[in-house]
Amino acid sequence: MFYVDSFIRDENLLKEIQNEDLWKRFAPPNYNWWNGWWVSNPRNIFEYIIENVWKQYGFEKNVAGFEYWSNLYPPGIGLEWHHDKDEAEARFNNKIVKPIIGMIYWVKIEDLKGGNLEVKWRGKTHTVEPKSNRLVLFNTGEPHRVTKVISGHRRAFLCNPWKSKPLTFKKGDHVDGKFNPVNAPAWVIPGLR
């Protein structure tokens, strides 16, 4: 597990990613797929961030692309122990296929109590406290959870690189929580660069 505080240093980019209007358009439960910068330029700010996180690792040779989504846990909500996997492959074929690694970027944390990331790794439970503009990289195939949010605001952007495109995206690059295709979201911006 690895994390970086003050990940986005460009004040304009940080202001843009924390803009509430952006998040109203990029609402769960939609999951998204991007083939990567070596196939197409980023279509939105989220893909731009993905490129900035992962490009340094030379993924062009080993990765089919990136799954990404967001979450906002209100008070009283958490996420039980789980590991990230191709959800459609698990549901329809009873097969567990996991991503290479994953990331959480905490966009905006305000007055938060609870909502910690806990990861089981090498026989121990490791806890990472959410903090605005903190990036965490870890093996999302390992058991992890989000403790119940007691109070406050916790907004996260998440991404997993995959060796092959998950079955989840068989019908399209934007799907809902039931794997139904959705229209290209309003936040897809052709020609971002």
193 residues of the chain, pLDDT tens digit each: 899 999 999 999 999 999 988 887 776 658 899 999 999 999 999 999 999 999 988 888 899 999 999 988 889 999 999 999 999 999 999 999 999 999 999 999 999 999 999 999 999 999 999 999 999 999 999 999 999 999 999 999 999 999 999 999 998 888 877 777 776 555 554 444 3
Let me know if 49 is exposed, middle or buried by CB neighbors in 10 A (0-12, 13-18, 19+): buried
DSSP string, the chain: -EEESS----HHHHHHHT-HHHHHHS-TT-EEEE--TTTS--SSHHHHHHHHHHGGGTGGGT--EEEEEEEEPPTT--EEEE----HHHHHHH------S-EEEEEEEEEEEEE--EEEEETTEEEEE---TTEEEEE-TTS-EEEPPEEEEEEEEEEEEEESS--GGGTT-SEE-TTS-B-PPPTT--TT--
Give the per-residue pLDDT at 96.
Answer: 96
Q: Identify the CATH homologous superfamily for domain 2-165.
A: q2cbj1_9rhob like domain (2.60.120.620)
117 touches 142 (CB < 8 A):
no
Give the per-residue pLDDT at 103.
Answer: 96
Give the per-residue pLDDT at 188.
Answer: 53
Give the per-residue pLDDT at 189.
Answer: 46
Where along the chain do its domains lie?
A: 2-165
Q: Whole-model pTM?
A: 0.90
